[in-house]
Amino acid sequence: MKKVLIVEDHADIRRLIRMTLELDDHEIHEAADAAAGLEAARRLLPDVVLLDVMLPGGMDGLAVCRALRADPALRRTAIVMLSALGSGSDRENGLEAGADAYLVKPFSPLNLIETIDSLVKS
């Protein structure tokens, strides 16, 4: 069972992602902002973090991604950036921050599952 942490400020999007992942074998956790996401990641040590780029508060998803990559306990955690920002430079910024994949909203549920499966082997 893959342990997934969803860090997304919009409850509706978290719910849709949860519903998508519940079709497969996933242990799902959620956080609504950067600070809660970092705390949850450090506590849970998830297999994958689904991370929104635009988060409320002092940190955006890119900063969270860099913080996760800097933590030795989380270096092997797969990170998938989720964003409405889809330009080439936006994708490049996400990958440079340490993301393993970058999906532009709206993305297909199948694409999300395939991305997670390609990054995290059961």
What count of residues does the chain have?
Answer: 122
CATH classification at residue 67: 3.40.50.2300
pLDDT tens per residue, range 43-91:
999 999 999 999 987 899 999 999 999 999 998 999 999 998 888 899 9
Q: How many domains does the chain have?
A: 1
Entry pTM: 0.95
Parent domain of 103: 2-107
Name the strands in the sheet holding 26-31, side by side, starting at the edge strand that comes first in the sequence: 26-31, 2-7, 48-52, 78-83, 101-104
Instruction: Answer yes or no: is 76 within a domain.
Output: yes
pLDDT tens per residue, range 84-112:
888 889 999 999 999 999 999 999 999 99
| Res 122: pLDDT | 61
| Res 98: pLDDT | 97
| Res 92: pLDDT | 95
Angle 95-102-108 from CA coordinates, rounded to 5°:
175
Q: What is the spatial distance between Cα 87 and Cα 67, in angstroms, rounded to a whole number?
A: 23
Residue 59, amino acid: M
| Res 99: pLDDT | 98
